[in-house]
Structure 1
Amino acid sequence: MNLFAKLKQREQEGTPIKVGLIGGGKFGTMFLSQVARLPGIHVVGIADLSPSAVQSNLELVGWPKESYAAATLDEAVNKRSTHVTDDWRSLIEQPEIEIIIEATGNPMAAVEHCLGAFRQNKHVINVTVEADAFCGYGLALKAKEAGVIYSMAYGDQPALACELVDWARASGFKVVAAGRGHKWLPHYRHSTPDTVWDHWGLTAEQAKRGRLNPKMFNAFLDGSKPAIESAAIANGTGLDVPTNGLLFPPGSVDDIPTLMRPKELGGVLERAGMVEVVSCLTLDGKQIPNDIRKGVWVCIEADTDYHKNCFEEYKVVTDPSGRYMVNHKRWHLIGLELAISVASVGLRREATGFATSFRADVVAIAKRNLAAGETLDGEGGYTVSGGLRPASISVENRYLPLGLAHNVILKNTVQEGQPVKWDDVDIDMTTAAYKLRKEIELKYV
């Protein structure tokens, strides 16, 4: 509980944590808006395919132009300024940079960036959870082999949920379930970038003002992102996932203890020890008060009468039996909280969550009838959405991971609602992402 004090100390000593950021989009910009006011962290460089867009975003969040005018990374190190470039390799090769933040949102590129950073002895904070969902365990093992840290991004829901699970276990509680909230109705599964803002609750003007990417936000709405983040939570905590995908039961925060019990006790879970997502809408589309849409939660069990009595004595909201309760963080602030990961990794050499196993996977599910010859456009697009499955089932049935369903051509027709399989696509087998995924399948499933 003293990260800020330690950051101030690093500042006073003249040894700030030196960071390189790959990807200057929404998440990265949110981080940059905060880091400018923090001691002890120096963003040496920012790499993006569009340096001019990064510069525009820096101006948007109030960075003085001279603060990001360094002509080279070496100059940025020496002058405590920032260099903006389109060359991500220059960041990972710069010897003074300690931590690479991968925030491109492109899972194929993210795997390459992470592996490259490990080879250069750099710690990695991976914002691109799409990559973590299909090969995060492999990335964690590669980091361990290299003697560096691989971490989830604090501020995103997986890291926050992992923190709550760790709180519960370190306190001595049995974890029954954990997860996040969402706004969900079954027909959202078919949403596209053309329909996302109507469902999301923003106007096109608000989306434009915020420089929001409709494909990225549609990945949240159509169920892909909840599946991706639930996979990351499961792989980071050792919890299991539903056999046939997320159920999205509707409920308020106070409903969670009743919902998140095994079925035989009146809940929705196949068994204790699961990941799930709670919807903020009733099945007829009405908003539920006191929802958890933007937050995360953990459900714990009082497995002795003493603990049950403690819940009662301290007026804890529980299920009707008095044995199940929830702790939660109602809001997550995305990139505005990312400095917690930077401080944790840079000061304590401790990740804010990482995959400890390969228990969960996210498979590509056809949004509509797909014809041979069509090109899949990945999460949030027009062709597929993400479905959460146990990794053992996904691998056994040769389901195509959503993270690899980008710009690949179908060889076979796939019916709406059916998973796409490896045999249905022509895919580049030379990429780092493909090779790492296949290595994980062969070794750990």
Structure 2
Amino acid sequence: MAISNSVVQRPFSMRERLLALEEEIPVAIVGAGAMGHGLLYQCTVTPAFRCVALADVRLERAVACAEALGLPYRVATSEGELHDAIRAGRLAVCEDALWLACAEGIRVFIDASNAILEAGRFCTAALEHGKHLVMMNAEADLAFGPYFMRLAEANGVTYASCDGDQHGVIKRLVDDLTLWGFELVMAGNIKGFLNRYANPTSIIPEADKRHLDYRMCTAYTDGTKLCIEMALLANALGLKTAVPGMYGPRAGHVREVPERFDLDALRREHGAVVDYVLGAEPNGGVFAVGYCDHPYQRRMMDYYKMGPGPYYVFYRPYHLCHVEAMDAIAAAFLEGRCLLQPRAGFRTDVYAYAKRDLQAGEMLDGIGGYTCYGLIENVADQAVAPGLPVCLADGVQLARDVKKDEKILLEHLIYDPARLDFELYRRAQQAT
């Protein structure tokens, strides 16, 4: 049978596909911090994307983002004004993310806030109003992800974790090495510095140097953010942690991973795990360890300067946060494809531990605060004494004293189980 030469050339790369679109993709962003500001910028340089609305509880921060990027904007003080601004081709700026979640004409809803309880409310509304949901908010993503995934399916839209942060970048590494025929042994992060007891006061000099929010910088420094990102990865890939909080040995370079871990024992006892190395180069990078014991492949990998095996460290020297985000957002919109979802359910979670001696009657102040840090653990190990998920640790009261570094259990607390974040977390467990 003759093959026709008149085959229409279809766009192949994501950029080509976006350039070929006849209409723009209207996007709404919640959160005008470092990530939200970056995503707003990327929407101005990525073909076909246009951010039509930006919300932040600190209105002046959203306004500052729009002005810094030279975007024509209009402050909306009502839902009607929001719609008017969008129709006029202006960036609608407001305080209430729920308006964006319910607004007509917005196709993609990106949560780049650090809210948890409120994110549960506006992300749920966005999915129920038929918007694709992309999460740059790792905390709400971890707490409610399985529920969001089911809700997205029920409403015919896509829910996905975003690319650019470590868990998304590591997922791409894992996708590559497993496609190449290697067995995943470890999905790994590189942590520059760790102080479990950092707080929003002690962190001020470092946060100011990096132009970071004090609580967010604290969450980076005390390891809670690291654990949350690795839990998202574990729940997407069906992985475990070998010990609470992971091992995290010090290393000079990520290539030392096979020397810093007993990979034979980990593989034998746990299967594939998440973990990290501390203080290693390349700073800001990520890695994954693959196993292959085939003589031919080992010989070729040695020739390719990857070492004798059978364990091979694949690493990337950077993760670029908002810079890398748009491919995953485009894939969610164009293809319904998700870079990362909690398909394995709650295999792991991050639980609260006391940063200092805490007294009965004290209120916990959540992630990046003065009272607790979070450690990743396997959910299956919580059956006897369930811990407090750190994503729910804001505004709950202690019923008893808790010593420094002691795990905070649900039975230690006075709290309202009907509070929205606890209710959505329960739905996420049921969805699992």
> Which residue of 286, 295, 306 maps to 1:296?
286
Measured after TM superposition, the shift of residue 76 of structure 1 is 4.1
Is residue 38 of structure 2 the alignment partner of residue 7 of structure 1?
no
2:54 matched residue in structure 1: 46
How do 1:369-408 and structure 2 match up within 5 A? Answer: 369-408=357-396
| Whole-Å separation in 1 of the counterparts to 2:314 and 2:419 | 41
Q: Is the 8 A contact 1:20 1:91 kept in 2?
A: yes
How high is the sequence identity, in percent, across the aligned residues?
27
Tell me the TM-score normalised to structure 1 length. Answer: 0.88
How do 1:28-177 and structure 2 match up within 5 A? Answer: 28-60=36-68, 62-64=69-71, 67-69=72-74, 72-177=81-186
| Whole-Å separation in 2 of the counterparts to 1:412 and 1:341 | 45
**Does the residue aligned with 1:63 lie in a helix, a strand or coil?**
coil
> Which residue of 271, 286, 302 maps to 1:312?
302
Residue identity in the other structure for 1:35 = C
How do 1:202-217 and structure 2 match up within 5 A? Answer: 202=206, 204=208, 206-207=209-210, 210=211, 212-217=212-217
Residue identity in the other structure for 1:228 = I
| Whole-Å separation in 2 of the counterparts to 1:270 and 1:189 | 28
Measured after TM superposition, the shift of residue 203 of structure 1 is 7.2
CA distance 1:6–1:81, change in 2 (3 Å): farther
**Does the residue aligned with 1:369 lie in a helix, a strand or coil?**
coil
Tell me the TM-score normalised to structure 2 length. Answer: 0.90
Is residue 341 of structure 2 the alignment partner of residue 342 of structure 1?
no
Measured after TM superposition, the shift of residue 48 of structure 1 is 1.4
**Does the residue aligned with 1:365 lie in a helix, a strand or coil?**
strand
Residue identity in the other structure for 1:279 = L
Measured after TM superposition, the shift of residue 361 of structure 1 is 0.5
2:7 matched residue in structure 1: none
2:401 matched residue in structure 1: 413
Q: Is the 8 A contact 1:20 1:100 kept in 2?
A: yes
| Whole-Å separation in 2 of the counterparts to 1:300 and 1:268 | 11
CA distance 1:59–1:396, change in 2 (3 Å): farther
Q: Deviations over 1:44-92 (max 9, x none)?
A: 11111122221112223x223xx22375343444343310012222211
1:326 matched residue in structure 2: 313
Q: Is the 8 A contact 2:288 2:313 kept in 1?
A: yes
Residue identity in the other structure for 2:60 = S
**Does the residue aligned with 1:336 lie in a helix, a strand or coil?**
helix
Q: Give the aligned CA root-mean-square deviation in angstroms.
A: 2.1
> Which residue of 353, 365, 371 maps to 2:340?
353
**Does the residue aligned with 2:50 lie in a helix, a strand or coil?**
strand
2:263 matched residue in structure 1: 262
> Which residue of 422, 431, 437 maps to 2:425?
437
Measured after TM superposition, the shift of residue 263 of structure 1 is 5.2
1:271 matched residue in structure 2: 270
CA distance 1:394–1:106, change in 2 (3 Å): farther
Q: Deviations over 1:146-186 (max 9, x none)?
A: 2221111111111111111112222222101012110245x
Residue identity in the other structure for 1:69 = R
Farther-moved stretch of structure 1 (166-175 vs 361-370): 166-175
| Whole-Å separation in 2 of the counterparts to 1:361 and 1:262 | 23
CA distance 1:379–1:327, change in 2 (3 Å): same
**Does the residue aligned with 1:218 lie in a helix, a strand or coil?**
helix
Q: Is the 8 A contact 1:31 1:337 kept in 2?
A: no
**Does the residue aligned with 1:168 lie in a helix, a strand or coil?**
helix
Residue identity in the other structure for 1:324 = Y
Q: Is the 8 A contact 1:177 1:260 kept in 2?
A: no
Q: Is the 8 A contact 1:176 1:261 kept in 2?
A: no
Measured after TM superposition, the shift of residue 430 of structure 1 is 2.5
CA distance 1:438–1:3, change in 2 (3 Å): same
Q: Is the 8 A contact 2:29 2:54 kept in 1?
A: yes
Residue identity in the other structure for 1:192 = N
For structure 1, list consecutive stretches of 5 or more residues without a partner in the other structure. 281-287
Q: Which runs of 4+ in 1 moved over 4 A?
A: 267-270
**Does the residue aligned with 2:124 lie in a helix, a strand or coil?**
helix
For structure 2, list consecutive stretches of 5 or more residues without a partner in the other structure. 1-11
| Whole-Å separation in 2 of the counterparts to 1:5 and 1:261 | 45
Q: Deviations over 1:22-61 (max 9, x none)?
A: 111111011112222222011111111122221112223x
| Whole-Å separation in 1 of the counterparts to 2:136 and 2:125 | 16
CA distance 1:203–1:366, change in 2 (3 Å): closer
**Does the residue aligned with 1:343 lie in a helix, a strand or coil?**
helix
Q: Is the 8 A contact 1:99 1:346 kept in 2?
A: yes
CA distance 1:138–1:50, change in 2 (3 Å): same
Residue identity in the other structure for 1:437 = Y
| Whole-Å separation in 2 of the counterparts to 1:70 and 1:383 | 37
Measured after TM superposition, the shift of residue 258 of structure 1 is 3.6
Measured after TM superposition, the shift of residue 428 of structure 1 is 2.8
2:33 matched residue in structure 1: 25
Q: Deviations over 1:293-350 (max 9, x none)?
A: 312211101131121111112221x3xx521112122211222322222212122221
Q: Is the 8 A contact 1:246 1:277 kept in 2?
A: yes
Measured after TM superposition, the shift of residue 8 of structure 1 is 1.6
How many matched pairs?
A: 415
CA distance 1:165–1:425, change in 2 (3 Å): same
| Whole-Å separation in 1 of the counterparts to 2:100 and 2:143 | 25
Measured after TM superposition, the shift of residue 16 of structure 1 is 1.0
CA distance 1:378–1:54, change in 2 (3 Å): same
**Does the residue aligned with 2:312 lie in a helix, a strand or coil?**
strand
Q: Is the 8 A contact 1:42 1:80 kept in 2?
A: no
**Does the residue aligned with 2:270 lie in a helix, a strand or coil?**
coil
Measured after TM superposition, the shift of residue 222 of structure 1 is 0.5
